[in-house]
């Protein structure tokens, strides 16, 4: 599931709601409600901004597949707080395993989620924006390259 939050979609949705809220002309037949009119220039936005189907991990940037492999090798750990894990055969660490709250409501509301970094880093270095978010019960994984603004579900190869 690819969920995108963008201002232009919000504006289009606002226009659509406004257009639908304007009362229609009175019906030719008394007692028959007029059908709401949607102007042709108003974009209809899908519910929850779902725009693409899930994609296999091979369709994502290469570092996403690498991160999936690292986290699978670590058995997708779960911790109470963000934890750095050593990346095998390197001097790098990768952080994750803490709860992701889904406060924005972009992911399914019935899930529980853990967040995991995509890119290993030198200990003490700042983290970047790329994350994997995983539901440990369903094993569904989402990728966000922009720190939770957009999510793309990974259909296969990363659970």
| 41-88 tens-digit pLDDT | 544 333 334 347 899 999 999 999 999 999 999 999 999 999 999 999
Q: How far apart are CA 120 and CA 98, in angstroms?
A: 16
Residues of the chain with CATH 3.10.450.30: 55-156
Whole-angstrom Cα distance, residue 126 to residue 48? 32
Beta bridge partners of 121: 93
User: Which stretch of 13-27, 53-67, 114-128 has the lowest confidence by average pLDDT?
Assistant: 13-27
Q: What percent of the chain lies above the pLDDT cut of 70? A: 68
pLDDT tier for residue 155 given thresholds of 50, 70 and 90 = very high
- Whether residue 50 contacts residue 152, with contact meaning beta carbons closer than 8 Å, is answered with no
Would you tell me which CATH number, out of the four given (1.10.10.10, 3.10.450.30, 2.60.40.10, 2.30.40.10), belongs to the domain 55-156?
Answer: 3.10.450.30
């Amino acid at each position: 599931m690819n969920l995108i939050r963008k201002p232009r979609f919000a504006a289009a949705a606002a226009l659509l709601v406004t257009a639908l809220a304007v009362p229609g002309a009175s019906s030719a037949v008394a007692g028959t409600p007029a059908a709401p009119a949607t102007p042709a220039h108003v974009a209809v936005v899908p519910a929850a901004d779902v725009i693409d189907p899930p994609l296999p991990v091979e369709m994502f940037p290469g570092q996403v597949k690498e991160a999936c492999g690292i986290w699978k090798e670590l058995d997708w750990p779960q911790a109470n707080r963000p934890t750095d894990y050593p990346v095998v055969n390197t001097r790098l660490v990768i952080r994750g395993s803490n709860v992701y709250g889904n406060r924005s409501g972009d992911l399914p509301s019935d899930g529980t989620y853990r967040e995991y970094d995509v890119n290993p880093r030198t200990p003490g270095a700042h983290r970047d924006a790329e994350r994997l978010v995983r539901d440990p019960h369903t094993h569904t994984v989402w990728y966000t390259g922009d720190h939770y603004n957009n999510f793309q579900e990974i259909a296969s190869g990363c659970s």
